[in-house]
Structure 1
Amino acid sequence: MGKEPLTEEQIAGQLAARPGWTRDGDEITRTFQIRYHGGVAMIVHVADVERLIGHHADIDLRWGQVRFGITTHDVGRRLTEADFDLAARIDQIGAAHGAEPLSA
């Protein structure tokens, strides 16, 4: 997956294609509502996929919520196609675990 920094126009297009993800500087974020133990299982599932694709999110587990923050550290914390690919995978994993996306 491409790890070249995206232009502002490309980022806007990618965000439009990933509803629910928001931009926070050079990171995209999304929070899901899920029971604590379900959140742990979701995180393990995401971590398995991240290991396979070689790209990782920052993950924050709270009681009833999991927040994902994604950027590409190896290109100076810039957004790349790899970030949006991982976001799509996290959306699929969240749905499989019954996680409810919180509104942005």
Structure 2
Amino acid sequence: MRPAGGSPRSWHPRTRGDDVEEASAPLSEEEITDRLRDRPGWQRSGDEITRTFSIRYHGAVALIVHVADVERLIGHHADIDLRWGTVRFGITTHDAGHKLTAKDFELAARIDHIAAAHEAEPR
């Protein structure tokens, strides 16, 4: 199930070299706090941001496949924990020494959009 508006490619950022480097730079504590404020439901856990959704098991599998499809296209991946009735996403930038970067918050926004399309309920 794809959200209205198209395929995962529609969420693919069109960045050039400098933009990619900037997106991979670790964020300051103040920047992290500001960005978390803009992403309700996401919580900081050490050097990652996390969010858990309630969703039936097979719906969660479809959600994960959809997220993985987008992640492959943008070249940034969340850690995903599937349990009966829930799916948890944890995001950090491994290439930046497991620090939080703009890429993490961009992926969080995409996950929120995809989760809503799959009718996953925030926990």
Structure 2 spans left out of the alignment, 5+ residues: 1-19
Larger Rg: 2
1:1-104 to structure 2, matched below 5 A, reads 1=20, 2-102=23-123
Structure scoring higher RCO (CA < 8 A, sep ≥ 6) equals: 1
TM-score, normalised to structure 1, is 0.97
Deviation at 1:53, TM superposition (A): 0.3
For 2:72 and 2:89, the matched residues in 1 are separated by: 16
- Which 4+ residue blocks in structure 1 deviate beyond 6 angstroms? none
Deviation at 1:12, TM superposition (A): 0.3
* 1:15-58 deviation line (CA, Å, top 9, x unaligned): 00000000000000000000000000000000000000000000
For 1:3 and 1:100, the matched residues in 2 are separated by: 30
Structure 1 spans left out of the alignment, 5+ residues: none
Q: What's the counterpart of residue 10 of structure 2?
A: none
Sequence identity percentage: 74
Aligned residue type for 1:48: D
Deviation at 1:8, TM superposition (A): 0.3
For 1:38 and 1:11, the matched residues in 2 are separated by: 31
Deviation at 1:82, TM superposition (A): 0.1
For 2:80 and 2:46, the matched residues in 1 are separated by: 17
Q: What's the counterpart of residue 16 of structure 2?
A: none
